[in-house]
């Protein structure tokens, strides 16, 4: 009964809204935003969907092929391999900065000497342009001339092939990504740590919790919402990562570090197969949306400090 009543009320409210929306005096306020949204978001989207249903090579006749591009994707080994690379690369580029960034935040949250200066230095990688970073790391990765192998040789390790060998290329790229984005996670978590109440820690001290137990049972659960924010930002960033990968390896050696982004780029702008490229873009988009939904759901569940936690 109450459900009926409330749905009636909602319907009533909606109809009130509709009559209001028709009033012409409101239009001038909506039109600019509407034009921008339709122009740069909705139209490209619909157009991409449409292109993905075409056989469309630059310089050739366009032909409607329905879902054929998607069928081709399902059996395209290079695509499936790129999908795997993307997932591995993303997972590692989320976890590594998360662990290191949290550790750094805990360190910077203590009364470290020269804390402000150290923190400033620590966040510097974040400020640099990815392409510039990529070029510097490319030099550092060089097996003969790079500084990394020189340093390793000093402690009797190596030489490693870094980005020049299929088995280490993804790990090496993750290293760059981690170096650049650990500071971001550190800043997010540090903000979280600063917002934590102090009294539960005194209480825990009396309850007999050791430093590790205080971290495990108090700090970690209480900064979980912040960690989730970091995970969401990092996941989306790592998924769409392009500049570092393209500059350092272009997906090589061979296709050992080719992610969906890079494959999409090759298909669309090297082979000029616009229709097939659009299909890849659509699948990639769906993947990002799904991942975001999962993460947002997890983020809501991790929030102990708002809502009612159910």
Partner 1 sequence: MASVSIRNVRKSYGPVEIIKGVSIDIQDGEFVILVGPSGCGKSTLLRMIAGLEEISGGTVAIDDRVVNDVPPKDRDIAMVFQNYALYPHMTIADNMSFALRLKNTAKSEIAAKVERAAGILGLGPLLGRFPRQLSGGQRQRVAMGRAIVRDPKVFLFDEPLSNLDAKLRVQMRTEIKEMHQRLKTTTVYVTHDQIEAMTMADKIVVMHDGIIEQIGAPLDLYDNPANMFVAGFIGSPAMNFIPGSIGGDGFTTEDGSRLPLGGRVPAASDGRPAVYGVRPEHFRLADEGLAAEVVVVEPTGSETQMVLRPLGVKAGREDRKRELTWVLRERTGARPGEVVRIAPDPALAHLFNPDTGLRL
| CB within 8 Å of 262: residues ≥ 6 apart | 82, 242, 245, 246, 250, 251
Per the CB < 8 A criterion, the answer to whether 176 and 244 are in contact is yes
**Which is closer to partner 1, CB of 143 or CB of 200?**
200
Give the x-and-dash track for 205-244 against partner 1 (CB under 8 A). xxxxx---x---xx--xx-x--------------------
Per the CB < 8 A criterion, the answer to whether 237 and 223 are in contact is no
Residue 252 gets the label, from left (phi > 0), alpha (psi -120 to 50) or beta, of beta
d(CA 205, CA 211): 9
Q: Select from 74, 144, 194, 199 the one that contacts partner 1 (CB under 8 A).
A: 199
Q: What 3-state class would DSSP assign to 2?
A: helix
Nearest-10 crossing angle of helices 169-194, 130-141: 130
Give the x-and-dash track for 2-41 against partner 1 (CB under 8 A). ----------------------------------------
d(CA 159, CA 147): 11
Q: Select from 106, 204, 287, 288 the one that contacts partner 1 (CB under 8 A).
A: 204
Under the binding rule (CB under 8 A), the answer on residue 308 touching partner 1 is yes
| Stretch binding partner 1 (CB under 8 A), from 38-46, 70-78, 198-206, 265-273 | 198-206
Under the binding rule (CB under 8 A), the answer on residue 61 touching partner 1 is no
Under the binding rule (CB under 8 A), the answer on residue 159 touching partner 1 is no
Residues that bind partner 1 (CB under 8 A): 197, 199-200, 202-209, 213, 217-218, 221-222, 224, 304-305, 308-309
């Amino acid at each position: 009964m109450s459900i009926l009543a409330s749905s009636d009320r909602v319907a009533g409210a909606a109809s009130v809204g509709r009559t209001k929306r028709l009033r012409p005096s409101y239009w001038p306020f909506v039109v600019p935003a509407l034009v921008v949204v339709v122009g740069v978001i909705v139209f490209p989207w619909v157009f991409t969907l449409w292109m993905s249903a075409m056989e469309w090579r630059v310089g050739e006749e366009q032909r409607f092929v329905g879902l054929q591009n998607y069928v081709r994707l399902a059996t395209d080994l290079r695509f499936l391999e790129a999908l795997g690379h993307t997932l591995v690369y993303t997972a590692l580029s989320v976890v590594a900065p998360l662990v290191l960034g949290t550790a750094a935040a805990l360190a910077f949250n203590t009364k470290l000497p020269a804390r402000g200066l150290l923190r400033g230095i620590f966040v510097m990688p974040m400020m640099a342009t990815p392409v510039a970073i990529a070029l510097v790391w490319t030099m550092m990765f060089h097996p003969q001339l790079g500084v990394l192998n020189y340093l390793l040789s000093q402690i009797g390790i190596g030489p490693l092939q870094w980005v020049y060998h299929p088995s280490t290329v993804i790990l090496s790229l993750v290293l760059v990504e981690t170096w650049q984005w650990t500071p971001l996670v550190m800043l997010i978590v540090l903000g979280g740590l600063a917002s934590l109440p102090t009294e539960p820690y005194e209480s825990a001290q009396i309850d007999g919790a050791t430093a590790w137990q205080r971290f495990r049972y108090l700090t970690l659960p209480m900064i979980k919402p912040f960690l989730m924010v970091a995970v969401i930002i990092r996941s989306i960033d790592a998924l769409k990562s392009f500049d570092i990968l393209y500059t350092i390896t272009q997906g090589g050696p061979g296709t050992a570090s080719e992610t969906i982004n890079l494959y999409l780029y090759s298909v669309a702008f090297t082979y000029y197969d616009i229709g097939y490229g659009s299909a890849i873009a659509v699948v990639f988009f769906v993947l990002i949306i799904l991942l975001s939904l999962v993460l947002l759901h997890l983020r809501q569940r991790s929030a102990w400090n708002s809502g009612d936690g159910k």
